């Protein structure tokens, strides 16, 4: 099958679950022999990396020369097209992230729209109205406003798709939905949108209406919707009025070869380590972790709490640790990547994911793959598929502490969780996810096209 | 001649309440829930099944006979929550056609960890049965039919003439469970469960995918009758909760029980029912059966892995028995009872990780969401018990 995929980050840019999921799924689809045109935003100012091999810079006459095309050796069936863009999947890498840019956007929203700089390419009758009527901003130029950037991204995606051969369009998360919709409409192909997280997960009840609208339109318009869990599927049904019959669940996975023997840490310390790893944002529940830490310290003194990650609540979390009087027991490492992630897992006795609303949650799988037992929030998609972990409601601080203390006190609990957990994740492969995804594609292609106006 | 020997296990544990590190009281058990379950099962199973059996004993004028093993902890809960069940068992005892077996009072795994505690619990149970039903048990069954040569030796030492166990294939090989056996060097008779016929009733009775469904008493009596010529006794051992609780009344299980005695005896004049001590007297051992390794009636493995299959289970059981001396040294009867209730095998069964992800029979009996939760709760309670010994 030929798939036009609107995805996210690839190594070494991966900063979270969305990138990890796109990478894992695409790699497995590639191995299954699907041909993929993979379009992704390229962070502006990101350094060129050696392992990205640019082979075929786009030089088709008349095209908007605003993307880099390349191939990666381990992805034989994938063509990558990176569109320089400030779009980022999360708000973590830059202070405030896109949320602060949305606020900037609100200030300029009344400004007259710029007219698109026409590139002279012939416009098919199916081109989106916005493209013709000047809904976007000057191509190849970042206008400093998120929603315009998303629109501009869609236009470049259409240009990029011209002349390509694909059966289906697959878009990951809201920022790529306008592009997915535009490409699907322009070229008359069915659209699959995949929801890795919703605005309600990220922002609680304080949703940005415009983001909500984009998500809602994507879900309502797509031929089929992939949710990463039933947890997310339920949110789509209950809060987006999505048609339940069109939503399939495809769980994320982890590639763990099973022979992942992890050496014990070089120095055996007498201090236990409880790890939080993820973006330090409202969605991830850092304050519940700290409150539980405080409770644990009433019972166990020889324990340190490590918070690895960055995010818009990091300052608040540092202050909270101090207010709770446990500042000396909590370590903030900042954002970790690559080998540092493996290293911090290797040190940990327990990984805790206290998320308030977690559509999936790949990090617990990584913990288990690294032989670290996990305590996860029941308000997560991953809790639907894991049995050999501890589970807790994110708000139940005392129960969280109860379970953390048990792991610290009783080595047999830790070892049983570790053995069974590491075994359990071996069946959660990306190959399996890609097979499920392929079934969704087949279902999409075999169903009558939806008449969307 | 084929005799049917029926033994029903009657047991309910004292389930623990939710006990976290923040708890400090000494009320460890979920009284409300235990009462509720006890009353529920009494009304669905114990009372109607007892009535059913009583009618059959009367109808067949003593030729229908059965045996029960009632744990001390279930009797204590009956006394507290639904005493009419004890009266109902008394009426059965008065017929003379019902035998009560001996076991550890707390349905415990004591045999595996402490000979002293094991013997103390067997003695307690004997006394309890004598005081309630006026009869002394002569047959022993260890918790969950856990058995090896040493269990037989211990039972003999305590004065029992027979002991029950599982007729596990890996043990018997070509031999049949429809004979009695003798353990090496110990003059005691071994009765082995015919697990195929027992499970036809206990597990498959209502299974519509089973090729023999629906199971009628006549069909079953025919299978029993086939034993004639290659065995003397068909040991049907099962949980009493089979009747009305595992197999609901709607499945027709009570009608089956009502029809079974007549059907078995009608199939051949030689067929009849015997209580375990009658089997011991009437059926001399066909040979010696050497069981060096521990077996049980649980799961397909028929081993101890349901209670001691992972590190949490062996750790918690060991930790519990590590407290034995300290608890007994306190002379605190309430503490001793609390501790003993923690020895009940069910607590360790709840921690079993076998099949946990698949969701099966283990889940049905488990008040916890996960084996890990049950271990954590148990260890918190055990910590509190340990603190009381200091």
Q: Does A423 touch chain B (CB under 8 A)?
A: no
Q: Give chain A positions within 8 Å (CB) of B353.
A: 388, 416, 420
Class of domain B3-282: alpha beta
Q: What is the pLDDT of residue B360?
A: 60
**pLDDT exceeds cutoff 60 at A96:** no
C-beta atoms of B20 and A417 within 8 A:
no
Mean pLDDT over the full length of chain A: 82
C-beta atoms of B20 and A402 within 8 A:
yes
What are the residue ranges of helices labelled H in B159-304?
A: 169-172, 195-202, 217-225, 253-267, 276-282
Separation CA B179–CA A18 (nearest Å): 65
Any bridge partners for residue A192, and if so which?
A170, A224
Q: What is the pLDDT of residues B78-117, one digit of tens each?
A: 999 999 999 999 999 999 999 999 999 999 999 999 999 9
C-beta atoms of B376 and A412 within 8 A:
no
Any bridge partners for residue B191, and if so which?
B164, B180
Q: Give chain A positions within 8 Å (CB) of B310.
A: 412, 416
Q: What is the pLDDT of residues B51-84, one digit of tens each?
A: 999 999 999 999 999 999 999 999 999 999 999 9
Gyration radius of chain A's alpha carbons: 23
Q: What is the pLDDT of residue A135?
A: 30
**Exposed e or buried b for every residue in A105-128, given b needs 16+ CB within 10 A?**
beeeeeeeeeebeeeeeeeeeebb
C-beta atoms of B311 and A415 within 8 A:
yes
φ and ψ at A102, to 5 degrees?
Answer: -65, -40
**Nearest C-alpha of chain A: how many angstroms from B305?**
14
Separation CA B89–CA B80 (nearest Å): 15
Q: Any idea where the domains of chain A sit in the sequence?
A: 2-253+431-446, 272-427
Gyration radius of chain B's alpha carbons: 21
**Nearest C-alpha of chain B: how many angstroms from A273?**
19
Q: Give chain A positions within 8 Å (CB) of B380.
A: 402, 406
Other CB atoms closer than 10 Å to residue A134's CB: what's the count? Answer: 14
Q: What value of ipTM does the predicted structure carry? A: 0.91
**pLDDT exceeds cutoff 80 at A347:** yes
Which one of A399, A406, A416 has the shortest CB-CB distance to B311? Answer: A416
Separation CA A160–CA A174 (nearest Å): 20
Who wins on pLDDT, A112 or A335? A335
Q: Does A405 touch chain B (CB under 8 A)?
A: yes
Q: Does A404 touch chain B (CB under 8 A)?
A: no
Confidence category of residue A449, pLDDT binned at 50, 70, 90: confident
C-beta atoms of A388 and B312 within 8 A:
no
C-beta atoms of A387 and B370 within 8 A:
yes
Q: What is the pLDDT of residue B359?
A: 52
C-beta atoms of B312 and A299 within 8 A:
no
**pLDDT exceeds cutoff 80 at A144:** no
Place of tokens 């009493």: B240
Sort B204 into a burial class: Cβ within 10 Å, 0-12 / 13-18 / 19+. Answer: middle
Which one of A387, A410, A424 has the shortest CB-CB distance to B379? Answer: A410
Confidence category of residue A257, pLDDT binned at 50, 70, 90: low
**Nearest C-alpha of chain A: how many angstroms from B338?**
21
**pLDDT exceeds cutoff 90 at A125:** no
CATH number of A2-253+431-446: 3.40.50.2000
Separation CA A394–CA A354 (nearest Å): 5
Who wins on pLDDT, B100 or A265? B100
Check if B144 is active-site: yes
**Nearest C-alpha of chain A: how many angstroms from B316?**
9
Q: What is the pLDDT of residue A452?
A: 55
C-beta atoms of A424 and B357 within 8 A:
yes
CA distances for A44 relative to A48, A108, B276, angstroms: 10, 22, 84
Question: By CA distance, what is B319's nearest residue in A?
Answer: A410
Task: Read off the pLDDT of each residue in A90-100 and give the average, rounded to a whole number.
Answer: 42
**Nearest C-alpha of chain B: how many angstroms from A245?**
27
Separation CA A398–CA A57 (nearest Å): 57
Q: What does the block give as tokens for B304? A: 């101890």
Which one of B20, B310, B312 has the shortest CB-CB distance to A398? Answer: B20
Q: What is the pLDDT of residue A270?
A: 80
Q: What does the block give as tokens for B149? A: 């040569």
C-beta atoms of B379 and A409 within 8 A:
yes
Which one of B369, B370, B376 has the shortest CB-CB distance to A402? Answer: B376
Question: Measured on CA atoms in the order A241, A244, A245, A247, is the torsion positive or negative?
Answer: positive
C-beta atoms of B369 and A390 within 8 A:
no
Q: Does B384 touch chain A (CB under 8 A)?
A: no
Q: Give chain A positions within 8 Å (CB) of B316.
A: 412
C-beta atoms of B312 and A424 within 8 A:
no
Q: Which residues are CB-contacts of B342 (< 8 A; sequence separation ≥ 6)?
A: B28, B320, B378, B381, B382, B385
C-beta atoms of A413 and B376 within 8 A:
yes
Task: Read off the pLDDT of each residue in B291-298 and give the average, rounded to a whole number.
Answer: 93
C-beta atoms of A410 and B375 within 8 A:
yes
Separation CA B354–CA B264 (nearest Å): 38
C-beta atoms of A415 and B372 within 8 A:
no
Cα–Cα–Cα angle for A213, A217, A222, rounded to 5 degrees: 155
**pLDDT exceeds cutoff 50 at A139:** no
Q: What is the pLDDT of residues B15-35, one digit of tens each?
A: 999 999 999 999 999 999 999
Q: Which of B103, B117, B144, B324 is catalytic?
A: B144
Separation CA A81–CA A31 (nearest Å): 19
Task: Read off the pLDDT of each residue in A7-18 and give the average, rounded to a whole number.
Answer: 74
Q: Give chain B positions within 8 Å (CB) of A387.
A: 356-357, 370
Confidence category of residue A134, pLDDT binned at 50, 70, 90: very low
Q: What is the pLDDT of residues B311-354, one digit of tens each?
A: 999 999 999 999 999 999 999 999 999 999 999 999 999 999 98
**Nearest C-alpha of chain B: how many angstroms from A287?**
20
Interface test with B, best of A412, A417, A428 (most B CBs within 10 A): A412
Q: What is the pLDDT of residue A100?
A: 43
Between A and B, how many CB-CB pairs are < 8 A? 58
Separation CA A198–CA A194 (nearest Å): 11
> Domain A272-427 is classified in which CATH homologous superfamily?
Glycogen Phosphorylase B; (3.40.50.2000)
Q: Does A427 touch chain B (CB under 8 A)?
A: no
Q: What is the pLDDT of residues B210-266, one digit of tens each?
A: 999 999 999 999 999 998 888 999 999 999 999 999 999 999 999 999 999 999 999
Q: Does A426 touch chain B (CB under 8 A)?
A: no
Q: Does A406 touch chain B (CB under 8 A)?
A: yes
% of chain A beyond a pLDDT of 70 = 78
Question: By CA distance, what is B309's nearest residue in A?
Answer: A416
- Closest of A256, A234, A260, A257 to residue A247, by C-alpha: A234
Q: Does A415 touch chain B (CB under 8 A)?
A: yes
- Residue A89 near residue A9 (C-beta atoms within 8 A): yes
Q: Does A409 touch chain B (CB under 8 A)?
A: yes
Q: What is the pLDDT of residues A34-76, one digit of tens each?
A: 999 999 998 765 444 433 333 333 444 444 457 888 898 889 9
**Exposed e or buried b for every residue in B60-71, given b needs 16+ CB within 10 A?**
beeebbbbbbbb
Q: Is A35 left (phi over 0), alpha (psi -120 to 50) or beta?
A: beta
Cis peptide before B172 (omega within 30 of 0): no
C-beta atoms of B20 and A413 within 8 A:
no
Q: Does B373 touch chain A (CB under 8 A)?
A: yes
pTM over 0.90: no
Other CB atoms closer than 10 Å to residue A71's CB: what's the count? Answer: 17
C-beta atoms of B380 and A406 within 8 A:
yes
- Residue B270 near residue B228 (C-beta atoms within 8 A): yes
Q: What is the pLDDT of residue A74?
A: 86
Question: By CA distance, what is B371's nearest residue in A?
Answer: A388
Q: Does B16 touch chain A (CB under 8 A)?
A: no
Q: Does B24 touch chain A (CB under 8 A)?
A: no
Q: What is the pLDDT of residues B154-186, one digit of tens each?
A: 999 999 999 999 999 888 999 999 999 999 999
Q: Give chain A positions within 8 Å (CB) of B373.
A: 390
Separation CA B59–CA B95 (nearest Å): 12
- Residue A423 near residue A311 (C-beta atoms within 8 A): no
Q: Does B357 touch chain A (CB under 8 A)?
A: yes
**pLDDT exceeds cutoff 70 at A112:** no
Q: What is the pLDDT of residue A45?
A: 53
- Residue B17 near residue B29 (C-beta atoms within 8 A): yes
Q: What is the pLDDT of residue B129?
A: 97
Question: By CA distance, what is A413's nearest residue in B?
Answer: B312
Who wins on pLDDT, A98 or B192? B192
CA distances for B91 relative to A444, B59, B88, B311, angstroms: 68, 15, 5, 45
Other CB atoms closer than 10 Å to residue A14's CB: what's the count? Answer: 18
What is the largest distance, in Å, between two alpha-carbon atoms of chain B?
65
């Amino acid at each position: 099958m030929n798939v036009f995929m609107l995805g996210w980050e690839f190594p070494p840019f991966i900063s979270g679950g969305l990138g990890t999921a796109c990478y894992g799924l695409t790699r497995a689809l590639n191995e299954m022999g699907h041909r993929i045109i993979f379009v992704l935003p390229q962070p502006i100012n990101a350094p060129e990396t050696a392992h990205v091999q640019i082979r075929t810079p786009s030089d088709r006459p008349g095209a908007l020369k605003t993307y880099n095309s390349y191939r990666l050796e381990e992805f034989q069936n994938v063509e990558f097209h990176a569109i320089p863009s400030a779009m980022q999947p999360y708000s973590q890498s830059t202070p405030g992230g896109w949320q602060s840019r949305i606020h900037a956007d609100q200030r300029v929203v009344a400004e007259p729209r710029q007219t698109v700089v026409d590139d002279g390419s012939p416009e098919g009758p199916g081109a989106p109205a916005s493209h013709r009527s000047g809904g976007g901003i000057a191509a190849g130029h970042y206008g400093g406003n998120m929603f315009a950037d998303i629109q501009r991204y869609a236009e470049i995606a259409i240009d990029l798709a011209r002349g390509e051969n694909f059966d289906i369009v697959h878009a990951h998360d809201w920022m790529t939905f306008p592009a997915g919709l535009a490409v699907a409409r322009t070229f008359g192909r069915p659209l699959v949108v995949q929801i890795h997280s919703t605005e309600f997960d990220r922002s609680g009840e304080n949703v940005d209406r415009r983001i909500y609208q984009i998500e809602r339109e994507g879900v309502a318009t797509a031929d089929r919707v992939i949710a990463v869990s039933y947890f997310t599927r339920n949110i789509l049904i209950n809060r987006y009025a999505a048609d339940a019959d069109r939503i399939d669940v495809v769980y994320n996975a982890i590639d763990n070869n099973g022979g992942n023997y992890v050496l014990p840490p070089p120095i055996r310390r007498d201090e236990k380590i409880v790890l939080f790893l993820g973006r330090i944002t409202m969605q991830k529940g850092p304050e519940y972790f700290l409150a539980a830490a405080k409770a644990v310290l009433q019972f166990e003194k020889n324990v340190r709490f490590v918070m690895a990650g960055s995010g818009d609540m990091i300052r608040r979390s540092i202050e909270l640790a101090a207010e709770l009087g446990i500042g000396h027991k909590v370590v903030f490492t900042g954002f970790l990547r690559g080998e540092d992630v493996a290293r911090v897992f290797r040190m940990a006795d327990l990984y805790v994911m206290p998320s308030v609303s977690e559509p999936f949650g790949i990090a617990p799988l990584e913990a288990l793959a690294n032989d670290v037992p996990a305590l996860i929030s029941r308000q997560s998609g991953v809790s639907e598929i894991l049995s050999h972990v501890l589970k807790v409601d994110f708000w139940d601080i005392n129960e969280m502490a109860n379970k953390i203390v048990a792991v610290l006190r009783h080595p047999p609990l830790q070892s049983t969780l570790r053995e069974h957990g590491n075994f359990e994740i071996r069946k959660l492969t990306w190959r399996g996810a890609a097979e499920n995804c392929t079934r969704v594609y087949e279902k999409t292609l075999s169903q009558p096209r939806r008449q969307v106006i | 001649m084929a005799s049917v020997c029926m033994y029903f296990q009657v047991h309910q544990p004292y389930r623990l309440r939710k006990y976290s590190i923040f708890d400090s009281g000494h009320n460890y058990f979920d009284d409300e829930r235990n009462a509720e379950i006890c009353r529920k099962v009494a009304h669905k199973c114990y009372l109607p099944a007892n009535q059913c059996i009583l009618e059959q004993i009367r109808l067949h004028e003593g030729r229908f006979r059965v045996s029960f093993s009632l744990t001390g902890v279930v009797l204590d809960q009956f006394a507290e929550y639904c005493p009419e069940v004890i009266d109902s068992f008394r009426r059965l005892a008065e017929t003379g056609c019902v035998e009560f077996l001996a076991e550890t009072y707390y349905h415990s795994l004591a045999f595996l960890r402490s000979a002293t505690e094991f013997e103390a619990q067997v003695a307690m149970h004997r006394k309890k049965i004598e005081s309630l039903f006026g009869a002394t048990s002569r047959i022993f069954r260890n918790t969950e039919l856990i058995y090896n040569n040493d269990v037989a030796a211990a039972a003999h030492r305590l004065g029992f003439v027979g002991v029950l166990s599982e007729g596990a294939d890996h043990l018997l090989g070509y031999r049949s469970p429809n004979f009695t056996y003798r353990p090496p060097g110990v003059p005691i008779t071994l009765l082995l469960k015919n697990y195929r016929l027992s499970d036809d009733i206990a597990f498959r009775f209502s299974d519509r995918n089973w090729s023999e469904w629906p199971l009628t008493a006549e069909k079953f009596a025919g299978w029993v009758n086939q034993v004639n010529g290659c065995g003397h006794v068909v040991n049907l051992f099962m949980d009493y909760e089979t009747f009305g609780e595992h197999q609901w009344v709607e499945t027709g299980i009570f009608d089956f029980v009502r029809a079974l005695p007549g059907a078995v005896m009608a199939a051949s004049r030689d067929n009849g029912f015997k209580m375990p001590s009658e089997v011991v007297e009437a059926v001399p051992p066909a040979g010696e059966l050497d069981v060096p390794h521990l077996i049980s009636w649980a799961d397909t493995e028929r081993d101890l892995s349901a209670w001691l299959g992972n590190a949490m289970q062996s750790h918690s059981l060991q930790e519990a028995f590590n407290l034995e001396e300290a608890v007994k040294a306190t002379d605190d009867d309430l503490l001793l009872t609390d501790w003993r209730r923690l020895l009940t095998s069910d607590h360790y069964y709840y921690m079993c990780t076998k099949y946990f992800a698949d969701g099966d029979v283990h889940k049905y009996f488990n008040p916890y969401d996960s084996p890990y939760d049950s271990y954590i709760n148990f260890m918190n309670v055990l910590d509190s018990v340990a603190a009381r010994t200091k």
